[in-house]
Chains A and B, each alone.
Chain A
Amino acid sequence: MTSTALSIREAVALCAAWADRFAKQHGCRALVVKGSILESQGLRGPHESIDVDLLVDPAQFTSFAEALADAGWHAPKDSTDAGIMEKHSATVSHTHWPITIDVHRYFPGFLAEPQTVFETFWERHTTTEIAGVHVNTPNPASHAALAALHYLRHPDSGLALINLPKLIELTPAALGETGLAELSEIAAATGSATILAEFLADVGAPPAADAPGLESALRQWELNTHAGSTTGWLVKVFREPIRRWPREIWYSLVLTDEQIAAHYTMPGESVRSARWRRIRKGLANSPRALAYLIRFRFTHRRKRGDV
C-alpha cells in the first residue's frame, strides 16, 4: 500500500472528486469542467487529461483560492505571459498530487459578465460520475459551448484542428433537438453568440444573437485568438505611457533569472542560454507581430468608419 506513484489518469479522476468535495465543504459553488466529463457527456472521444479544471463562482473565487492555499495548494511561479486579456484562471499544485488544478473565475469567449455566465451554467448544472462519485458539472449544452470556445481560443492550434471538428460531429447527437435549442439560449445569455455563430450553424442549433455592448470585448477576443506571445508583449508595452516603454521593452526581453529558470530553460540548459534563445525568438517574431497589430487596428478602425 502506497500513497505515491499515482498515474496521471488516476490522479486526474481522484483529484476531480477531491476538488468537487473541497468546494462543497467550503460552501463554494464550483463545476468540474472539460476532461473526462466531456467524454462522459458524449462531446469528445477518449482523451487523457493532464489536469483538473474547475469553474468557480466568480464571487467566491478569492475565498476559494485562499481555502485552497490553506489546504496546501499553491501557484507555481507567476507565468511570464503578457496577456492581452485579464487572467481568467489560477493554476495550483500540491505535494500530494502529480497534477495541477486550474481554477477558473471565468472562461474566455463568454463575453457577458462572469457572474452572469456562471449563473447561466449553475442554474442548469448536472452531476457526472467520476472515480465512482458524482461531481457537479455543466450540463451538456453549457459544456458544448464551453468546449467550443476553448478550441476557438487558438483556432489554428493542433488542439482546435483535431477537437473542434469532432465536437461539431458529436454535438447534435449528444444534445438532441432540445439541447441544441438550449445551446443557442446559453450562447445568447453568456455573450458568446457572435463567437459561436459558425459553431451553432455547423451543429444545427438555431441562430442566436448577443446583447449589444460587447463590441470592445469582441475585439479583445479577436486580437487574443490571433496573437502570438510576442504580440501579447507588444500590446502590453503599448498600453504603457511612452516614457515607460524602454523599461517595459527591457523587461519583456530579459525577464528575471527566476522567470527564465521556471518557464524557459530546457533540461540541462543554463538560464543565460535560455534567455538568449528567447530573445532571439522574440526579436525574430517582432516584425510580424507588429505588422499584425497595425493591420488589426486599421481593420477595426475601418469597420467603425474611422478611416
Chain B
Amino acid sequence: MSTPENSTGAWRHGADVARVDTSEAQRRAVLNLERLDQPAVLLEGAALIIHDAVDGTRDTQAIIDLLTLQFPGVPMLAQEVTETLEQLAATGIIWAEREAQNA
C-alpha cells in the first residue's frame, strides 16, 4: 500500500468506489466496492476538502500547498492533510500513482 510518506506520485480516486454526495449537508458517503467487507466511510469537513483536492495530478505536497493557499493560517494543516490521505489510502478510496507503477 502506498502511503503519503513513501509515495511521490499523484493521488487518484479509486475507480471502483460508490459515492453519494449530499450538498446541503456538505458531506460525501463513499464505499470501496473492491473491499466489500469494509464499511462505508463518511467524509465531512477537512476530509471532504482533502478528498476533493485529489485530482490525479497532485501529490501530497501539492495538496498541502493548495490547501495552505485556500486556508491560510490553519495550524497543523500539513499534518492533517498527510494523515487524512493516509487514512483514505488505507481504505482504498484513493491511491497513489506509485502504487500502480509498482504493481
Residues of A in contact with B (beta carbons under 8 Å apart): 1-7, 9-11, 13-14, 17-18, 21-22, 25, 71, 96-97, 130-133
- 13 inter-chain pairs at a CB distance below 8 angstroms, sorted by A residue, are A3-B39, A3-B41, A6-B42, A11-B29, A18-B18, A18-B31, A25-B36, A97-B39, A97-B40, A131-B19, A132-B18, A133-B16, A133-B18
- Type the 1/0 row for B7-48, where 1 means its CB is closer than 8 Å to any CB of A: 000000000111110100100011101001101111110010
Bound: A9/B20 CA distance, A? 9
Given the interface contacts A9-B20, A13-B18, does A131 sit within 8 Å of B31 by beta carbon? yes
Instruction: Give the chain A neighbours of B43 by CB distance below 8 A.
Output: 1
Instruction: Give the chain B neighbours of A3 by CB distance below 8 A.
Output: 39-42
Q: Which of B25, B29, B47, B84 contacts A14 (CB 8 A)?
A: B29
Q: B84 and A1: CB pair below 8 A?
A: yes
B54 within 8 A of A: no
Residues of B in contact with A (beta carbons under 8 Å apart): 16-20, 22, 25, 29-31, 33, 36-37, 39-44, 47, 84, 87-88
Bound: A7/B87 CA distance, A? 22
Q: Please indicate which of the listed interface residues A1, A3, A14 has the most CB atoms of chain B within 10 Å of its own CB.
A: A1
Q: How many Å from the CB of A268 to the closest CB on chain B?
A: 31
Nearest chain A residue, comparing its CB with the CB of B47: A1
Q: A17 and B29: CB pair below 8 A?
A: no
Given the interface contacts A1-B88, A14-B18, A18-B18, does A6 sit within 8 Å of B36 by beta carbon? no
Q: A18 and B36: CB pair below 8 A?
A: yes
Bound: A13/B19 CA distance, A? 8
Nearest chain A residue, comparing its CB with the CB of B30: A14
Instruction: Give the chain A neighbours of B22 by CB distance below 8 A.
Output: 7, 9-10
Q: How many Å from the CB of B64 to the closest CB on chain A?
A: 17
Q: Please indicate which of the listed interface residues B29, B37, B41, B43 has the most CB atoms of chain A within 10 Å of its own CB.
A: B29
Q: How many Å from the CB of A195 to the closest CB on chain B?
A: 35
Bound: A293/B56 CA distance, A? 67
Interface of A is mostly: mixed
Instruction: Give the chain A neighbours of B17 by CB distance below 8 A.
Output: 132
Q: A6 and B40: CB pair below 8 A?
A: yes
Q: Which of A6, A21, A25, A133 contacts B29 (CB 8 A)?
A: A6
Instruction: Give the chain A neighbours of B39 by CB distance below 8 A.
Output: 3, 96-97
Q: Which of B37, B44, B84 contacts A2 (CB 8 A)?
A: B44
Q: B40 and A10: CB pair below 8 A?
A: yes
Q: How many Å from the CB of B51 to the closest CB on chain A?
A: 9
Q: Please indicate which of the listed interface residues B25, B30, B39, B87 has the most CB atoms of chain A within 10 Å of its own CB.
A: B39
Instruction: Give the chain B neighbours of A14 by CB distance below 8 A.
Output: 18, 20, 29-31, 40
Q: How many Å from the CB of A71 to the closest CB on chain B?
A: 7
- Chain A to chain B: the 10 pairs with minimum beta-carbon distance, closest first: A131-B18, A17-B18, A10-B29, A96-B39, A1-B47, A3-B39, A14-B31, A10-B20, A21-B33, A13-B20
Nearest chain B residue, comparing its CB with the CB of A21: B33
Q: A2 and B41: CB pair below 8 A?
A: yes
Nearest chain B residue, comparing its CB with the CB of A96: B39
Instruction: Give the chain A neighbours of B88 by CB distance below 8 A.
Output: 1
Instruction: Give the chain B neighbours of A96 by CB distance below 8 A.
Output: 39-40
Given the interface contacts A9-B20, A131-B20, A133-B18, does A18 sit within 8 Å of B33 by beta carbon? yes
Q: How many Å from the CB of A52 to the closest CB on chain B?
A: 13
Instruction: Give the chain A neighbours of B87 by CB distance below 8 A.
Output: 1
Bound: A131/B84 CA distance, A? 23
Instruction: Give the chain B neighbours of A9 by CB distance below 8 A.
Output: 20, 22
Bound: A132/B31 CA distance, A? 11
Q: List 9 other contacts, CB 8 Å, given A1-B47, A14-B40.
A: A2-B42, A2-B44, A3-B40, A7-B25, A9-B20, A10-B22, A22-B36, A96-B39, A132-B19
Given the interface contacts A131-B18, A133-B18, does A4 sit within 8 Å of B33 by beta carbon? no
